[in-house]
Chain A
Amino acid sequence: MATAAVVSGERESYLNAKYGLKSWLLTVDHKRIALLYLISITFFFFIGGFFALLIRLELLTPAGDLVQADVYNKLFTMHGLVMIFFFLIPAVPAVLGNFLIPLMIGAKDLAFPRINLLSWYLYMVGGTLMIYTILAGGVDTGWTFYTPLSTEFLNTNVISAALAAFVAGFSSILTGLNFIVTIHRMRAPGMTWNRLPLFVWAHYATSIIQILGTPVVAIAIVLVALERLLHLGIFNPALGGDPLLFQHLFWFYSHPAVYIMILPGMGIVSEIVCCFSRKRIFGYKAMALAVLGIAVIGFLVWAHHMFVAGISLYAALVFSLLTYFVGVPSAIKVFNWTATMYKGSITYQTPMLYAFAFIGLFTIGGLTGLFLASLGIDVHVTDTYFVVAHFHYVMVGGMVVAYLAGMHFWWPKISGRMYPEGWGKLAALLVFVGFNLTFFPQFVLGYMGMPRRYHAYPPEFQILNVLSTAGATILAVGYLLPMVYFLWSLRYGAIAPANPWGAAGLEWQTTSPPPEFNFENQPVVTWEAYNYDEIPEPEEVPVAH
């Protein structure tokens, strides 16, 4: 980061307000904490991605010949744990949310800056435990920690992995708490609820899930660890326990956790679609209500992960029906984004390309989710590659693509530099193509019946698996490129103006990068969100040379 501070040294900003390692590690500035998160999250993303590549390489051939079965099991377990708890859940909220929410609502900082720093340290403690777990030989429970396998039948590092998830969970809870209080208490004069950017609404809904869902999985994970240590029997059928209780507690959080991952992404896409269409969002109220609706209804559907697990027939019917209710607000979001483009004045900058990709991939991810909500289909395709494909369409096609969209959109604000547009477009294309090639064949594999978490598989599944692995390599290049050109832009990128895209929103009214306390003068808001009719289009977006 020293580079960034030196480079943009001429302009006063949060980056060069203070110097030295201490000024970063003990900072309470939400923008600096966001950068700390950005670095640590990127680190974990590439660790999780490395595991993913090894998984895909192993699956190139039907026989389990690259790694042993136990190693393979560790790979997919740690891929899941790292990606979910250390990338997907914190990524958008802790990096972009942290950086942008105070700016978007016209506040100097989050309500509790030191708790914000504590969140990052908790994340790092959890992350260290995760790294320890990996280095100490890994863990092979699957990220779901299903009992009694995790409690009685494995002798890998389950406890340290559980603790890692537990601590990271509290980091997430505190982030959510900070956002809720900030959005309620720190809005600038005139920033009423009806004027909040949808990005903020999305984070508000996300925070509700983080606060009310995470503790339940935390206690479930604690009980798993205790059960391993003391053999309490709470989830052990040999002692009268019910393994399905663990699944209930686990999915009570872990299904809504999917919405922790995707809702902030939806917030990003709303901002970007409006900006590059020069339009108000189509149906602001519906969009805001939809994210809240998804967050709340998301709590009612968890047992759809358990349709073949041995739950009651009636419970299965109820949870299946409730699951469809989530479909409605999701459909509204997709249609409204599309409708927002209608009669716009659309340009195709990199963030917008990612937003297009998001709309398409999220549509596929959402529609295939409806297959899984349907009991008769779910019985066949649950625990197969169909599920793997579905949730990667939502998590990677949705959330990661949205994250990249957001990183490109706000990179000028964060770093004060423009990234090279051509390379950006190329990376977006690679991500889109690579992603579809990786995961689309998995839908077919799933319906054919290839179970997930299989180290070796029958030969008739090979060709589709080869396609998938080929896609994964393209995807990997698509992910490495932005990493490279973002770093490059820190030194060589064109200096970003305050508002390179001509975007609405308070964050664009301060300098790029913003000063330490965000605004020179306390902003007072007198306009609705996305007032693109009042904002001139940018003359020329500065490009890197």
Chain B
Amino acid sequence: MANHFPNEAEATHDHISSVGSSVAIWLILLVFTGLTVGAAFIDLGPLNTVVALTIATIKATLVVLFFMHVKYTNEKLVPLVIVSAIFFLFLLLGLSMGDYATRVWR
């Protein structure tokens, strides 16, 4: 390692996604879109929001992993960037909402 540039040997772009798997993911995404629309019309109480956001998260994860090739990358940095972005997003949402949720008067 010492006499090479960092990451020189690693190549992150070598994955070529196959048409078949891409189409499969695409179909799953469409199915989930249908599911989320359908679920929206069923009364699940407070679970409606949970279901909608869970499906959205599944879809987003599929896009990140397969369409954005994160599943195939041998680069640890990309997942780290994604995780930190999500972490800081949740800090913003969580700590702000923490204030609103605990106010005596909302």
Chain A interface (Cβ < 8 Å from any Cβ of B): 184-192, 208, 212, 216, 244-245, 248-249, 252, 299-300, 302-303, 311-315, 318-319, 524, 526
Q: Chain B residues near A312: list those with CB within 8 A.
A: 98-104
Cα distance, A313 to B98, chains bound together (Å): 11
Contacts known (A248-B96, A303-B95, A312-B99); A189 close to B4, Cβ less than 8 A: yes
> Are B99 and A189 neighbours in the complex by a CB distance under 8 Å?
no
> Are B95 and A313 neighbours in the complex by a CB distance under 8 Å?
no
Cα distance, A311 to B2, chains bound together (Å): 53
Q: Chain A residues near B16: list those with CB within 8 A.
A: none
Interface residue from A208, A252, A318 paired with B92 (Cβ < 8 Å) = A252
Asked if B31 is an interface residue, CB under 8 A from chain A, the answer is: no
Minimum CB–CB distance from A457 to chain B (whole Å) comes to 33
Q: Chain B residues near A300: list those with CB within 8 A.
A: 91, 95
CB closest residue in chain B, given A301? B95
Interface residue from B3, B77, B84 paired with A184 (Cβ < 8 Å) = B77
Cα distance, A249 to B6, chains bound together (Å): 37
> Are A190 and B91 neighbours in the complex by a CB distance under 8 Å?
no
> Are A189 and B102 neighbours in the complex by a CB distance under 8 Å?
no
Looking at chain A's contact residues, is the secondary structure mostly helix, strand, loop, or mixed?
helix
> Are B6 and A212 neighbours in the complex by a CB distance under 8 Å?
no
Looking at chain B's contact residues, is the secondary structure mostly helix, strand, loop, or mixed?
helix
Minimum CB–CB distance from B93 to chain A (whole Å) comes to 10
> Are A212 and B103 neighbours in the complex by a CB distance under 8 Å?
no
Interface residues of B in 1-33 (CB under 8 A from A): 1-7
Minimum CB–CB distance from A101 to chain B (whole Å) comes to 14
Interface residues of B in 76-106 (CB under 8 A from A): 77, 84-85, 88, 91-92, 95-96, 98-104
Cα distance, A211 to B6, chains bound together (Å): 23
> Are A311 and B6 neighbours in the complex by a CB distance under 8 Å?
no
Interface residue from A185, A252, A313, A314 paired with B6 (Cβ < 8 Å) = A185
Minimum CB–CB distance from B100 to chain A (whole Å) comes to 8
Among B1, B99, B100, max chain A CB count under 10 A is at B99
What would 24 A/B residue contacts be, using CB atoms closer than 8 Å? A184-B7, A184-B77, A187-B6, A189-B2, A189-B4, A189-B5, A190-B3, A208-B84, A244-B99, A248-B96, A248-B99, A249-B96, A299-B91, A300-B95, A302-B95, A303-B99, A312-B103, A314-B98, A315-B99, A315-B102, A315-B103, A318-B98, A524-B2, A524-B3
CB closest residue in chain A, given B1? A192
CB closest residue in chain A, given B2? A190
Q: Chain B residues near A186: list those with CB within 8 A.
A: 5
Cα distance, A520 to B104, chains bound together (Å): 66
Known: A190-B2, A312-B98. 15 other contacts (CB 8 A): A184-B6, A185-B5, A185-B7, A189-B3, A192-B2, A208-B84, A216-B92, A245-B96, A299-B88, A300-B95, A312-B103, A313-B104, A314-B98, A315-B95, A319-B95
Cα distance, A344 to B41, chains bound together (Å): 74
Contacts known (A184-B77, A299-B88, A299-B91); A526 close to B99, Cβ less than 8 A: no
Cα distance, A302 to B95, chains bound together (Å): 9
Cα distance, A140 to B5, chains bound together (Å): 51
CB closest residue in chain A, given B4? A189
Among B7, B85, B88, B103, max chain A CB count under 10 A is at B88
Minimum CB–CB distance from B73 to chain A (whole Å) comes to 14
Cα distance, A178 to B23, chains bound together (Å): 35
Minimum CB–CB distance from B79 to chain A (whole Å) comes to 14
Q: Chain A residues near B102: list those with CB within 8 A.
A: 312-315
Among B3, B4, B6, B92, max chain A CB count under 10 A is at B6
Minimum CB–CB distance from B70 to chain A (whole Å) comes to 17
Q: Chain A residues near B104: list those with CB within 8 A.
A: 312-313
Cα distance, A189 to B85, chains bound together (Å): 29
Nearest 7 interchain pairs by C-beta:
A315-B99, A312-B102, A312-B103, A314-B102, A212-B88, A248-B96, A311-B99
> Are A526 and B77 neighbours in the complex by a CB distance under 8 Å?
no
Q: Chain B residues near A319: list those with CB within 8 A.
A: 95
Minimum CB–CB distance from B3 to chain A (whole Å) comes to 5
Cα distance, A526 to B1, chains bound together (Å): 12
Cα distance, A212 to B87, chains bound together (Å): 10
CB closest residue in chain B, given A526? B2
CB closest residue in chain A, given B85? A212
> Are A315 and B2 neighbours in the complex by a CB distance under 8 Å?
no
Q: Chain A residues near B91: list those with CB within 8 A.
A: 299-300
Minimum CB–CB distance from B40 to chain A (whole Å) comes to 25
Q: Chain A residues near B103: list those with CB within 8 A.
A: 311-312, 315
Cα distance, A313 to B105, chains bound together (Å): 11
Cα distance, A432 to B82, chains bound together (Å): 44
Cα distance, A189 to B7, chains bound together (Å): 10
Cα distance, A117 to B84, chains bound together (Å): 27
Cα distance, A188 to B3, chains bound together (Å): 8
CB closest residue in chain B, given A309? B99
Interface residue from A187, A299, A314 paired with B5 (Cβ < 8 Å) = A187
Q: Chain B residues near A245: list those with CB within 8 A.
A: 96
Interface residue from A189, A192, A315 paired with B98 (Cβ < 8 Å) = A315
Cα distance, A396 to B104, chains bound together (Å): 39
Cα distance, A184 to B12, chains bound together (Å): 14
Q: Chain A residues near B101: list those with CB within 8 A.
A: 312
